[in-house]
Structure 1
């Protein structure tokens, strides 16, 4: 059996604002943007679509709006692996990405926590070999 995690939903306030942030600040690609009438199917990802990507889902009611930016109860919920931490940290910092800590060396990776457009927390990390 061949299975993989394909998409993770991130609840957003506005499709175009979220697309601009994830593509402009993180360098993700817009993989899909399909108009479905009352909503859109919007997928962004750091690759060509061969790895897990984000489904950007605009909040459609008050309960969903209350989850924007806090989908994991304040825990780091997303992990962006890189093959060059310092290159990506510098590029993201130059684009205005807010890092919440100084980069640190851990036994498993070089890592720093950052916040996305809506306040969700992410780890940027370069795993150790």
Structure 2
């Protein structure tokens, strides 16, 4: 039986840039940051209130995948075709203003939806995220 989400994987091109964006701009906390056996780096971040749902910031390429697949993944990410999901907030407009002031590039301002208030933004690599305030 599935009891929940254990890990979300987001493809990034540079883990130092990803660290700066996800930790310093979005306010994520680092859960794990260490070299991987065989090369690479394990970099896990999480929302401060949700440490049980880590986000792995992984670079496409060896040892995660071969270079041919990595080229295709990087292309899809840069085109904004890789949408990892939505990040939750209690106040979409306030979070939008806060993140915009930190340099986060929004593709859509917050707007009313049937499920709440929602906005779109991308990370420095092109990953498309939603910022969502759900109706109670």
- Mapped partners of 2:2, 2:85: distance in 1: 23
Asked if the contact 1:11/1:64 (under 8 Å) is kept, the reply is no
Asked if the contact 1:23/1:30 (under 8 Å) is kept, the reply is yes
- Mapped partners of 1:73, 1:22: distance in 2: 17
Q: 58-67 or 68-77, which moves further after superposition?
A: 68-77
TM-score if structure 1 supplies the norm length?
0.86
- Mapped partners of 1:4, 1:45: distance in 2: 15
Q: Whose helix fraction is larger, Structure 1's or Structure 2's?
A: 2
Per the TM alignment, residue 9 of structure 1 is displaced from its structure 2 partner at its CA by 1.1
How many residue pairs get aligned? The number is 129
Q: Deviations over 1:76-115 (max 9, x none)?
A: 4320011121221111100111111221101211001111
Asked if the contact 2:34/2:42 (under 8 Å) is kept, the reply is yes
- Mapped partners of 1:98, 1:128: distance in 2: 25
1:104 aligns with 2:108: no
- Mapped partners of 1:112, 1:48: distance in 2: 21
Aligned to 1:50: 51
Aligned to 1:64: 70
Cα RMSD between the aligned structures? 2.2
Q: What SS does structure 1 have at the residue aligned with 2:16?
A: helix
Q: What SS does structure 1 have at the residue aligned with 2:43?
A: strand
Consecutive unaligned residues in structure 1, runs of 5 or more? none
Within the candidate set 82, 92, 97, 1:90 is matched to 97
- Mapped partners of 2:131, 2:4: distance in 1: 21
- Mapped partners of 1:107, 1:97: distance in 2: 25
Consecutive unaligned residues in structure 2, runs of 5 or more? 62-66
Per the TM alignment, residue 44 of structure 1 is displaced from its structure 2 partner at its CA by 0.8
